[in-house]
Amino acid sequence: MGTTIALIVVAVITLLWFVYTYNRLARLSVRAEESWAVIDTQLKRRWDLIPNLIQTVRGYAAHEQAVFSRVAEARADALESETPGDRAIAEHALKDALFPLFAIAEAYPELRANEGFLRMQETLVDAEDRIQRSRAYYNAVVRQLNMAVLTFPRMLVAAIFRFRPRDFYALPEEDMSTQPKVKL
């Protein structure tokens, strides 16, 4: 009789742990999806600004067609990327393509004084800030999910229900390994 009760208690505790672990993995998975959707929304908001930005700058510097083409291609690549790793690489290329566009703007004082251009530039900076905050949150959630999926004994529950580790939304490796050099 005592052995039966002990087995029932162990079975109930195991079942409760199993349910708790499944629910934790499910919550983390939903949070990761939700936070990725926030990043995606912020990126799309920024991507929508780029054609207007190009048109505004083009009005002042129509001869800079190569820069406009590069930005348009980088934006198209970013729109087509799907995984966090691919998206990070495409976004890095898009930022690199935007730098010359802003350099052109610096060469035209009338453009820098253009109210529409200034608003777009402020909106772009705001979008960048939101993307960075969203990326940090997403990576924190993914770290929690990945640790839960990859550690024993939770990995048993994760394997049964096919919870998989997710990719981080990280900068390309070359940027993370390059440290800025300061000359004093």
Q: What is the mean pLDDT of residues 116-140?
A: 91
Packing angle, helices 2-60 and 84-106, rounded to 10: 30
User: What pTM did the predictor assign?
Assistant: 0.80
Specify the pLDDT at position 173: 61
89 CB contacts (<8 Å, ≥6 apart)? 81, 172
Asked whether residue 20 carries a pLDDT value surpassing 90, the answer given is yes
**Nearest-CA neighbor of 163 among 32, 36, 33, 26?**
26
CA distances (Å), 36 to each of 30, 83, 157, in order?
10, 10, 24
- Across the chain, mean pLDDT equals 88
Asked whether residue 179 carries a pLDDT value surpassing 80, the answer given is no
- Give per-residue pLDDT as tens, 74-115: 999 999 998 898 999 999 999 899 888 888 878 888 887 788
The answer to whether the bond into 51 is cis (omega within 30° of 0) is no
The architecture in CATH of the region 2-169 reads Up-down Bundle (1.20)
Q: How many helices (H) and strands (E) does the chain have?
A: 7, 0
- Give per-residue pLDDT as tens, 47-71: 998 998 888 888 887 777 888 899 9
Asked whether residue 150 carries a pLDDT value surpassing 50, the answer given is yes
